[in-house]
Structure 1
Amino acid sequence: MNHKLQTSLKIQKSVLLPKVSQAPSNYMEMKMSQEMNTHYDYLFKVVLVGDEEDIKSSLLWAFTGTSDIVSGYKETIGVNFGINSLYLEDNTIKMQIWDISFSPRVQYLRTFYFKGSSGIIMVIKNWEDANACYKEIEAQCTRPLPVLLIYLNETPLNLPPSPIMNDVQFELIENGFSGIQWLAREMLNRRSIDEKPPIALYCLSRNELQETLHNLREAQQRSKLERLETLRKKRAEQLLFLKESLALMNIPVVDDIVSILSSEALFEVDILTREIDVFPLKCDHCRNSCKRQRQGRLCIIPASEGWSADLDHQSLLTLSSIYALTTGQLPKHVRDQINNILRCSKYCS
């Protein structure tokens, strides 16, 4: 793309979303926060069981945050839902936590609620409850699942003897957040293993319940902030690699926007948000300039794995999209999207 063509693009550009140069830090963090809330590498269903309904509800809040709990259903259908994301190494693990009521009136529904589970959080106040819950887990689940056992007591206690510990692996957990990390790691490692399930024990004092819940929420927030900082650094590196690749292709970038002019439309690719906007120049029917400014947005998806050690999957998709638009080598589904955006017969002269 030569300098003359680039000048014409600058004149015809329309104002779109706020550019990073206007609010670099807040805008980038907002987009990364949105990615964190929607992106995940693995999705697991976790069942929260036990007779201590108030404690379970409090733990569900501590695990997920009030805004992520779909509440009000336990009194009617016997279950509440929450969503929690954990970050282990380079993996984002999203957990759907089902807080199941152990009330006899919803006993016939529990079979459906256990279906598809990958892990269990069991809340008990004595070892008789543990045996009863564990027997139901064995009856309801089609394969052995890892269990995070939260034992409630008036004071911190040492491990007491229990029949459920005889035939299983066992690990002692120091705090609630470590317990959630343990469960996520076990679910990740045991996706295709049918051996005896491991059990982790976390002893929780009732006298320290509120402090424990508060600490758990703080640990969740710290983990999220650390993940956000990691994503920020990686995203900055990817933008640098992407701009260097575009420079080698002699494709200019202005305010993180790549502008591509064809005979029928102006394409603008935002390399930060990865959004592609289309501005029709002429009506596809009468070939006259449109009286009304219009725009549409393309959806381009990858067809295969990438081929660069420096660029991640999303950056490769952005680079490939820019190259395809520049050369006109577009797949049919993208060509159809462009034609739909260009179609504007009711605005013709």
Structure 2
Amino acid sequence: MAYKVDHEYDYLFKIVLTGDSGVAKSNILSRFTRNEFCLEFKSTIGVEFATRTLQVEGKTVKAQIWDTAGQERYRAITSAYYRGAVGALLVYDITKRQTFENVQRWLRELRDHADSNIVIMMAGNKSDLNHLRAVSDQDAQLLAEKEGLSFLETSALEAPNIEKAFQTILLDIYQIISKKALAAQEAATGLPGQGTTINVGDYTEHHKNKGELIQAFFDQLNPSEELIQ
């Protein structure tokens, strides 16, 4: 979802959070969008999202961050959840080895259902619990290099690298889109381009509030779609 809008922001980018339940995806979302952290653990039910507007290379970019439950019973929403996403933060818990071992399963799901050009960053969350570490940063870096991912360790509790993670994803998305737009213009004119407008939809004009947007999200689901195993 990379939409060009003329008023409050220049671009709207949809970014999804993915990973096992309990890795604190919801707290990453609230830390980045509202600078808040909730110590009480509550599993996400279905889908939630929040937004934040930032400046990226002189452009106003609205990041729309989607968070979904990590439990298997919600896998039926997989295809619609990833549809239109141009970025993803794949999260594991550095204190729980199993969440790291499941990274490749989540990565397969991303690559099966999201756009082939989606920007993916892997994040080892809960770096504030280093004394309980079960996954070394070396192991994570090796996996990231093998899969062609960027990688950071984060802490939703203390905030280190939360901002950096999303800023890096947004910058990578913007640069990819800018290069594609310039290449398209050069191909059309045969001359070096001066920039172009990307207009791939007007989704947000029809879904102004959170309730309408979430409803529109579920309206995309195919009634005959089977559970993703």
| 2:73 matches 1:87 | no
Aligned pairs (5 A) from 1:261-300: none
Matched, 1:186 2:172: yes
Structure 1 unaligned residues grouped into runs of 5+: 1-37, 195-349
- Which one has a bigger Cα radius of gyration? 1
2:83 equivalent in structure 1: 115
Deviation at 1:74, TM superposition (A): 4.1
Q: Report how far residue 119 of structure 1 moved.
A: 0.1
Q: Which whole-Å CA distance do the structure 1 matches of 2:43 and 2:151 have between them?
A: 33
Instruction: Name which of 115, 126, 130 aligns with 1:142.
Output: 115
- Find out whether 1:159 has 2:138 as its counterpart: yes
* Equivalent residue for 1:132, pick from 105, 125, 128: 105
Structure 1 residue aligned with 2:219: none
Aligned residue identity for 1:80: E
Q: Distance in 2 between matches of 1:57 and 1:133?
A: 17
Runs of 5+ consecutive residues of structure 2 not aligned to the other structure: 1-6, 37-41, 154-159, 181-229
1:53 touches 1:101 (CA, 8 Å); kept in 2? no
Tell me which of 11, 16, 33 is aligned to 1:47: 16
Q: Residue deviations 1:65-118, cap 9 Å, x none?
A: 189xxxx9942xx11110011112321110111101121111111111100000
* Distance in 1 of aligned mates of 2:56 and 2:35: 23
Structure 2 counterpart SS, 1:160: helix
Q: Deviations over 1:222-281 (max 9, x none)?
A: xxxxxxxxxxxxxxxxxxxxxxxxxxxxxxxxxxxxxxxxxxxxxxxxxxxxxxxxxxxx
User: Is 2:72 aligned against 1:104?
Assistant: yes
Q: Read off the aligned partner of 2:81 and give its amino acid letter.
A: Y
TM-score by length of 2: 0.57
Q: Is this contact kept in 2: 1:130–1:164, CA < 8 A?
A: no
Letter in 2 for 1:143: S
Give the match for residue 56 of structure 1.
25
Q: Percent identity?
A: 25
- Inter-CA distance 147–59: structure 2 relative to 1 (3 Å threshold): same
Q: Distance in 2 between matches of 1:142 and 1:89?
A: 24
Could you tell me how far apart the structure 1 residues matched to 2:9 and 2:148 are? 30
Report how many aligned residue pairs link the two structures. Answer: 151
C-alpha distance in 2, partners of 1:85/1:49?
Answer: 21
Distance in 1 between the 2:79 and 2:149 partners? 25
CA 1:134–1:193 in 2, change beyond 3 Å: closer, same or farther? farther
TM-score (norm 1): 0.39
Aligned to 1:250: none
Q: Is the 1:100–1:110 Cα contact (8 Å) retained in structure 2?
A: no
For 1:120, the aligned partner's letter is: A
Q: Aligned-pair distance for 1:166?
A: 1.4
Query: Taking CA–CA contacts closer than 8 Å with sequence separation of 6 or more, which of the two structures ends up with the larger relative contact order?
Result: 2
CA-based RMSD: 3.0
Amino acid at match of 2:139: P
Q: For 1:59 and 1:142, locate their aligned partners in 2 and report how far apart those are by CA, in whole Å.
A: 23
> CA contact under 8 A between 2:122 and 2:150: conserved in structure 1?
no
Distance 2:74 2:176 in 1: 30
Deviates more, 1:90-99 or 1:171-180: 171-180
Q: What is the rounded CA distance, in whole Å, between the counterparts of 1:53 and 1:193 in structure 2? A: 37
SS in structure 1 of the partner of residue 24 of structure 2: helix
2:51 and 2:64 in contact (8 A); partners too: yes
Aligned counterparts of 1:116 and 1:185: Cα–Cα separation in 2? 17
